[in-house]
Structure 1
Amino acid sequence: MEYYTLDNGLKVVLSPDETAPIVTVAVYYNIGFRNEPKDRTGFAHLFEHMMFQGSENLGKMEFIDLVQKNGGVLNGSTRFDFTIYFDIVPAHKLETMLWAEADRMKGLKITQDNLTNQQGVVKNEVKVNVLNQPYGGFPWLDMPQYANKNWYNAHNFYGDLEDLDAATLEDVQSFFHTFYSPNNAVLVVVGDFEPAQAKQWVQQYFAAIPSGTVPATPNLTEPVQEKEQRFTKDDKLANKPALAFAYHMPVRNSPEYYAMGLLDQILLQGNDSRLHQALVQERGYTGSVGGGINAELGNMYNYNGPMLWMGSLVHDKNVSADSIVAVLDQEIRKLQENGIDQELLDLALVKMRSSLYDQVSQMYGFGRADLLATFALFDDNPARINELEAEFRKVTPELMQKTISEYLRPTNRTVLIINPQAQS
């Protein structure tokens, strides 16, 4: 792996892998839901759509055609702390994709027609995925709004329809010039390529793009929660109740953060997890319980700010929310009172290692590109990808106990109950 920065501030990570004649090109911009402008909710996501509307040398839909007609796949996605664009193509098309990504970084086609069109697309997406869907936005969109206090962590990041309508052409142009500069981005290439040649192309296509003035990251800190919060949300389309719980996470990269990663494996991940066994196997309250750290919007590595450890389940009407919360408390208390022995810790490490390697190897190198990009953006150190296992291995049973006491206390928890309004 090679990591360097161009004179204009663009971070570049090159990670060759000759397993298959494929390359993944990923560009991550250091702007996400969390730090979008106030009174412009959903703006980071709206802008992600704008990036497919044409650039200086590629008209509308031509970027997409370029990838697909060469047998590739592409996508974009907005997350808490970044917006990502990636292309997976046959290896001999690497130069083409570097040129195309540079073309839209350099000059996006920002017109009123494109903006109006994409405002409509995003509003429809909100209606289809959230407003007109049973359990729409539960819990990934809902829970941050209930559990957090700081607006940046707690607003509707999919976008309020009024805010989406209010976006002007000037807003979009300003957003592009502010956040889509090379000095606010990282370019990652993973796959079957020659590093020297790739470096030459990166220099050729990206080096002349001027850097911009990026504002300071807003203050994202959350106050310490000292009292359990409970909320109920009516859902006119749901016919069964649902419940989600969330606990504020330790600071990213702290010893307790790694301990929480292992506690997540013990309590929530897989059919052998304590909560699956207690809620599904033993009591039959639900058919499944899911969640995790940064659940549904990424993984425990690719974020940079306050985060929640969250779980959720849809359950039978004859099961009360209190009885589910009681089981949750009971399973956490068992770990606290009985202690976590080395055998349980070793099992959690095996599961964590398996999950990490699944993450790294997913989707033709995209999984590896994702970690390299976020570690470059947030830590200025993509090589952290090689240090994760060692960090988890430093976790002791004593640290696990301390982390349970500090972070898995009921007073650090938010519970969200979905009250079904549809007739079953």
Structure 2
Amino acid sequence: MIKHGRLKRAALLAAPLLAFATAAHPAMAADPAPASAPEASVHVPIAYHKLENGLKVVISPDHSVPTTTIGVYYGIGFRLEPKNRTGFAHLFEHMMFQGSENLGKAEFIGLVNKNGGVLNGSTRFDFTNYYEVVPSNTTETFLWAEADRMKGLDITQANLTNQQGVVKNEVKVNVLNQPYGGFPWLDLPQLANTNWYNAHNFYGDLKEIDAATLEDVQKFFDQYYAPNNAVLVVAGDVDPTQVMDWAKQYFGPIPAAAAIPRPDISEPRQTEQKRIEKVDPLAPQPALAWAYHVPPKGTPEAAAFRLIDLLLIQGDDSRFNRVLVNQKGYSDSVDGGINWPLGDAYDYNGPMLWSGMLVHSGDVTDDQILSDIDGIVKDLQANLVSPDELERAKTKALSRLYDTIGNGNRVGLVNMLATFALFDDDPNRVNRLEKEIEAVTPEMIRKTAREYLRPTNRSIIDLKPGKAAAQDGQ
């Protein structure tokens, strides 16, 4: 099945670029954090290896539930796709389910379903991933199956034509014919960024999707779906030595790619506020969206900004929700975050935005809302956050970390291990995240807010209802 939309405002927001699925990604969930974090510290057992062909293998044994979660992450996301082939990363994600050397069309999905498992695939900024949660006694079977499609796809004109139609239909359903379609998750990166790789239409131009050829597909597969551009993560009720033997047996013979293109995805420092108006004929109410560039990943400021996100926008107790929703009544919720709504604050590898949005009634102007946002931000820039408020934010951060790592399906854990290995060659970072959170001070919060929440680092979209909405209101 095609599964789309995991956000609370599912009726208003287009979904991430997802393929076949029978389970939601816990890292994308927006559940409120518990009142207090568990006392236990994180210690994820990790065995990390690399095969001779460059494949990174991360194994995390956990015998609490008799299942295994297998994830294969490829270092190709929609910001890395070739020019003149927008939407190609997402199109290719679909192609991976069309059959391989030993599994025919949809047989991979059928194999998972017959064994009582669940699976999913998605395209993100910097990676495309595939995972399945299956009974642990089938671990070898699914390692073989993932290796089979890494080794070679059934690339035919019929399969390509079929999936071009599927992807184009997704664009029409989720963007072109949807109220608030593409707003703001497609719109904000195109406004805020200047580098084409960060600023193009990630879902893809319909003409460019149609223009994809079999030669394009084969070239893309050979360049990016190679073991030296991938991470295999196996977490669950497994023996690490046995898993490593299987990884060598099934993935080891796959040849590495000769060269993997790495475009420059850097962004210059934004020095002027950007603001545009978008008219949506299908929108029943106006909406406002904004974005700020966040600090470079791996810096102390990045850790501080993750807590700023929690202080300002995450949860009913956040400052934006208290003022904009509870006090002012502009909207029933404020949605947003770092790498929102396509991922989380950890699973990306380049310039990133912190964005937010709300749908509001026509009796309040966007400038009124922005004035209140500015007041909240200025307070954070001028005054040190209180120890109690910072402690609540840290508790929320730790609770979310524990929930992600401790979830029984292990999908969130696999996502962290895979992206930390893929981008930083360091899956063990998951065991240092607590220290990153605890190290943030009120002074770091204020310093980071002053630099990264300045108006000249902000991009704004005013969405106005179009003719259809206006006629409905008459």
Q: TM-score, length-normalised on structure 1?
A: 0.99
Which residue number in structure 2 is paired with residue 32 of structure 1?
Answer: 77
Once the two structures are TM-superposed, the CA of residue 390 in structure 1 deviates from its matched residue by 0.3
Which residue number in structure 2 is paired with residue 10 of structure 1?
Answer: 55
How do 1:186-265 and structure 2 match up within 5 A?
A: 186-265=231-310
Which of residues 364, 372, 375 is equivalent to 1:319? 364
2:328 is aligned with 1:283: yes
Once the two structures are TM-superposed, the CA of residue 259 in structure 1 deviates from its matched residue by 0.5
Amino acid at match of 1:209: I
Deviations 1:187-233 (A, max 9, x none): 00011111111111111111000111233421111111111111111
After the TM superposition, which of the residue ranges 336-345 and 326-335 deviates more from structure 2?
A: 336-345
Which of residues 395, 414, 417 is equivalent to 1:369? 414
Which residue number in structure 1 is paired with residue 97 of structure 2?
Answer: 52
Q: For residues 359 and 232 of structure 1, what CA distance do their matches in structure 2 show?
A: 37
Which of residues 89, 111, 114 is equivalent to 2:159? 114
- Which secondary structure state, in structure 1, belongs to the residue aligned with residue 197 of structure 2? helix
Amino acid at match of 2:147: A
Q: For residues 106 and 272 of structure 2, what CA distance do their matches in structure 1 show?
A: 50
Deviations 1:275-305 (A, max 9, x none): 0000010010000001100011010000000
- Which secondary structure state, in structure 2, belongs to the residue aligned with residue 187 of structure 1? strand
Q: 1:363 to 1:36 in 2, by over 3 A?
A: farther
Which residue number in structure 2 is paired with residue 79 of structure 1?
Answer: 124
- Which secondary structure state, in structure 2, belongs to the residue aligned with residue 259 of structure 1? helix
- Which secondary structure state, in structure 1, belongs to the residue aligned with residue 207 of structure 2? helix
Q: 1:96 to 1:198 in 2, by over 3 A?
A: same
Amino acid at match of 2:360: H
How do 1:303-342 and structure 2 match up within 5 A?
A: 303-342=348-387
- Which secondary structure state, in structure 2, belongs to the residue aligned with residue 34 of structure 1? helix
Amino acid at match of 1:81: D
Which residue number in structure 2 is paired with residue 41 of structure 1?
Answer: 86
Amino acid at match of 2:354: W
After the TM superposition, which of the residue ranges 52-61 and 332-341 deviates more from structure 2?
A: 332-341
Once the two structures are TM-superposed, the CA of residue 19 in structure 1 deviates from its matched residue by 1.2
Amino acid at match of 2:333: S
| Partners of 2:65 and 2:408 within 8 A in 1 | no
Query: Which runs of 5 or more residues in structure 2 are unaligned?
Result: 1-45
2:444 is aligned with 1:399: yes
Identity of aligned residues (%): 60
Which residue number in structure 2 is paired with residue 169 of structure 1?
Answer: 214
Deviations 1:348-395 (A, max 9, x none): 111111122222234600100000000000010000001111012111
Q: For residues 359 and 406 of structure 2, what CA distance do their matches in structure 1 show?
A: 31
Amino acid at match of 1:84: N
Q: For residues 139 and 280 of structure 2, what CA distance do their matches in structure 1 show?
A: 47
After the TM superposition, which of the residue ranges 95-104 and 327-336 deviates more from structure 2?
A: 327-336
Which residue number in structure 2 is paired with residue 23 of structure 1?
Answer: 68
Q: For residues 362 and 241 of structure 1, what CA distance do their matches in structure 2 show?
A: 37
Q: For residues 216 and 164 of structure 1, what CA distance do their matches in structure 2 show?
A: 21
Q: For residues 258 and 79 of structure 2, what CA distance do their matches in structure 1 show?
A: 19
Q: 1:363 to 1:218 in 2, by over 3 A?
A: farther
Q: 1:15 to 1:202 in 2, by over 3 A?
A: same
Which of residues 419, 428, 446 is equivalent to 1:383? 428
Query: How many residues were matched structurally?
Result: 424
Query: Which runs of 5 or more residues in structure 1 are unaligned?
Result: none
Deviations 1:320-372 (A, max 9, x none): 00011111100011122232132222111111111222222346001000000
Q: For residues 131 and 361 of structure 1, what CA distance do their matches in structure 2 show?
A: 38
| Partners of 2:381 and 2:447 within 8 A in 1 | no
Which of residues 457, 462, 466 is equivalent to 1:417? 462
Q: For residues 367 and 258 of structure 2, what CA distance do their matches in structure 1 show?
A: 51
Q: For residues 198 and 71 of structure 1, what CA distance do their matches in structure 2 show?
A: 21
Which residue number in structure 1 is paired with residue 115 of structure 2?
Answer: 70
Which of residues 185, 203, 210 is equivalent to 1:140? 185
Q: For residues 305 and 407 of structure 2, what CA distance do their matches in structure 1 show?
A: 23
RMSD: 0.9
Q: For residues 214 and 100 of structure 1, what CA distance do their matches in structure 2 show?
A: 25
2:400 is aligned with 1:355: yes
Amino acid at match of 1:144: P
Once the two structures are TM-superposed, the CA of residue 55 in structure 1 deviates from its matched residue by 0.2
2:344 is aligned with 1:299: yes
Amino acid at match of 2:464: N
After the TM superposition, which of the residue ranges 362-371 and 76-85 deviates more from structure 2?
A: 362-371
- Which secondary structure state, in structure 1, belongs to the residue aligned with residue 52 of structure 2? coil
Deviations 1:19-60 (A, max 9, x none): 111100100000001110001000000000000000000000
- Which secondary structure state, in structure 2, belongs to the residue aligned with residue 143 of structure 1? helix
- Which secondary structure state, in structure 2, belongs to the residue aligned with residue 174 of structure 1? helix
| Partners of 1:179 and 1:214 within 8 A in 2 | no
Moved over 6 A (4+): none
